[in-house]
Amino acid sequence: MKPLDAHDADAYDALPKVELHCHVEGAIRPQTVMELARKNDRRLPTSDPTELYRYTSLDSFLEVFWLVQSLLADPDDWARAAHESIIDAAPHGLRHREMFFTPARHLAAGQTLAGIVEGLSRGIERAEADTGVSCMLICDIDRSFGPGPAGELVDAAIELRRRGAGERLIGIGMDSTERGVDPRDFAEAFARARSAGFHVTAHAGEDTGPDNVATALDALGIERIDHGLAVMDDPDLTARLAELRVPLDVCPSSNVVIANRFARLEDHPFRGMRQAGLLATLNTDDPAMTDLDLGREYRSVAAAQGMGWEEMTAVALDGVEASWLDESDKRRVRAQFRAEIAAITPP
Ligand SMILES: [Zn+2]
């Protein structure tokens, strides 16, 4: 394989991509973190926010995530975070994103779901006009808050939908710490979300074993799995997910830097997951907090896992299949991606 050069960088940035696993709070520019802290009169433990962005485990990352998240104090802050996150991703080939936000702490502090979704939607609309990138929202339950607040959050989302507001909010997800939490505790909240017509997904098997994925799948009825790395430890579960084409939105760099699950990108099972027939896609998770973008994620994974251009274009096209776009949009986007890919000089 020839060494990477600037031309290769162009190809991976030009490759059109869908992103299904990106947290808006993890996509806030370090400079914006500083400005929000000043605006909202919050103290940070350092004057250089990149100093904050160092982790030894998923739970140590979550402490930083919660601190940065707490800086979003009003709908304008959410609008700014959403807008900048898309502006920053567009030059690296992002065409469509289904983006997480996790409002448990903000709701506990007195913000409303309606206000947060209004702010995010406003930022997204501005970014769509600027870049042509489309973006929808997934409201994540923070499982560390337990099933009570999860149910209230789902009820607030249903109420928003009933009022005809929040049309960008298409899904309910679940994130935060996995250890010591039983996914079954959230079955009722997920059942209500599903029957109200929301798509559903959940973080599972990022920091725990395959049972965590199987339980989330069976008890919550999720359509997608966020991370899901642990499936590879269970051949029967792997075969089941491959057969059903259940999408796994995988974030290899994040799994090295945040979950510390693998020492190097070379050790990540991503290519093995695809060779096992899984619908595994590539995503950044928390790009600003890991100094990452989607072009670099594709380029780094290709180099570390020895994946060729054809394989990487297949990953990009699988992102369309794994998305919650409707079938006619999927056909349109797939055709557009194919045309764009054909015009790129492979690295
Ligand atoms: Zn995540």
Characterise 139 by phi-psi region: left (phi > 0), alpha (psi -120 to 50), beta (else): beta
Of the two residues 58 and 148, the one the predictor is more confident about is 148
What's the 101 CA to ligand 1 centre distance in angstroms? Answer: 10
pLDDT score of 283 more than 60: yes
What's the 22 CA to ligand 1 centre distance in angstroms? Answer: 6
Within-domain flag for 67? yes
Continuous segment of H or E residues that includes residue 225:
strand 224-227
CA 329 – CA 343 distance, rounded (Å) = 21
Question: What is the percentage of the chain residues whose pLDDT exceeds 90?
Answer: 82
Within-domain flag for 173? yes
CA 305 – CA 243 distance, rounded (Å) = 24
137 touches 181 (CB < 8 A)? no
Measured in whole angstroms, how far is the alpha carbon of residue 250 from the centre of its chain? 9
Within-domain flag for 9? no
Q: Which two tokens stand for residue 314?
A: 């297949």
Question: What is the percentage of the chain residues whose pLDDT exceeds 70?
Answer: 97
pLDDT at 5: 45
What's the 46 CA to ligand 1 centre distance in angstroms? Answer: 25
Within-domain flag for 192? yes
CA 193 – CA 187 distance, rounded (Å) = 10
pLDDT score of 3 more than 60: no
CATH code of residue 193: 3.20.20.140
Strand-pair category, 199-204 with 169-175: parallel
**How many structural domains are present in the chain?**
1
Predicted confidence (pLDDT) per residue in 85-121, tens digit: 999 999 999 999 999 999 999 999 999 999 999 999 9
**Catalytic residue numbers?**
206
pTM of the prediction?
Answer: 0.95
Which whole number is the average pLDDT over 203-221? 92
Within-domain flag for 335? yes
Q: Which two tokens stand for residue 223?
A: 């359509």
CA 64 – CA 131 distance, rounded (Å) = 30
What's the 7 CA to ligand 1 centre distance in angstroms? Answer: 31
Q: What range does the domain containing 101 cover?
A: 16-339
**DSSP 8-state assignment for residue 312:** H
pLDDT at 8: 52
Which whole number is the average pLDDT over 54-82? 89
